[in-house]
Amino acid sequence: MVLELTDPSYSIFPLISYFYLFTLSVPVVNVALKGVANQSSLHGDGHAHNAIDGNRESDFFKLFCTHTEHETNPWWRVDLLDMYRVTAVIITNRGDCCPERLDGAEIRIGKSLENNGINNPRCVVISNIPAGQTNNFQCNEMEGRYVVVLIPGQDKVLTLCEFEVYGTPAVNVALKGVANQSSLHEYGQAQNAIDGNRESDFFKLLCTHTEHETNPWWRVDLLDMYRVTAVIITNRGDCCPERLDGAEIRIGNSLENNGINNPRCVVISNIPAGQTNTFQCNEMEGRYVVVLIPGQDKVLTLCELEVYGTTAGNHL
């Protein structure tokens, strides 16, 4: 027998970290279980993490559901702690009361925390989930780290009794690339930024480092053309994080002027010491991703640079 994701009998069992679709004989992982949940407000014992506790119990008073206050545009969010291509989101609605409160809710998925993640692209609008029922929403491999539920409008309440996210880790395409930089200081080799390690202490030999120079740059050749959705950068943690202030990320297919002439995705205002920040590049197309610090007597250090996107189709 195959147990369907929406089979009511499934809700009587506590969820484990994975289960098997026997027809495929492959594990399917609920990646929300290891995430971190937040919400716009708290009513009673309706804590945000109740929605990712692995239990589809739909009676709010058994303390397994979330609950916000009555407010304008209430939201709930899970941080998956890594980038995923989300194939499906599964939601269990409250069963003991007021299931219609979830009507019109939006599921949004992306990499941004701007406006609490509400500005991320929308997967679906929920028309209705009957009381105590579990519904499956397909998200067609939307890519992101944050999955958000929002109910637009005034005097709204958001309750989720379980929230599951299924997908596969997004691929950091920089890992298979070739890195270069404008100069080398000591052991700060260009390839240190694409070694898959976010360690931010330069003296552990895992960060890049140029000399003091005019317009230092670093570049990764992705070896194929990609539509770049996001670039993630980890700044140096043991010293001088302000050196990266004002750096530019450029993406394109040209090596003219070492790739510096390619279109700009973003200017980095600031990344705190040792922190990792995500920059959305809206599917800019290119083979080369370049970081440039304009100006004289500048130093460029990157402790990790990750690139996420999909192949552009025009293989080189």
pLDDT 10s digits, 19-58? 333 333 334 789 999 999 999 999 999 999 999 999 999 9
One domain, residues 179 and 161:
no
* Structure confidence by residue, pLDDT tens digits, 203-259: 999 999 999 999 999 999 999 999 998 899 999 999 999 999 999 999 999 999 999
Query: What range defines the domain where residue 77 resides?
Result: 8-169
- Domain membership of residue 51 (yes or no) is yes
One domain, residues 160 and 193:
no
One domain, residues 138 and 181:
no
CATH code: domain of residue 305: 2.60.120.260
Between 37 and 82, the higher pLDDT residue: 37
The distance from CA 119 to its chain's CA centroid, rounded to whole angstroms, is 13
Please say if the pLDDT value at position 282 is more than 50.
yes
One domain, residues 122 and 145:
yes
Q: Indicate the average pLDDT of the chain.
A: 90
- Domain membership of residue 124 (yes or no) is yes
Domain total for the chain? 2
One domain, residues 128 and 272:
no
- Domain membership of residue 224 (yes or no) is yes
One domain, residues 150 and 191:
no
> Which amino acid, one-letter code, is at 287?
R
pTM of the model: 0.68
Last residue in a domain, options 120, 142, 169: 169
Dihedral pair phi/psi, residue 43, rounded to 5°: -115, 125
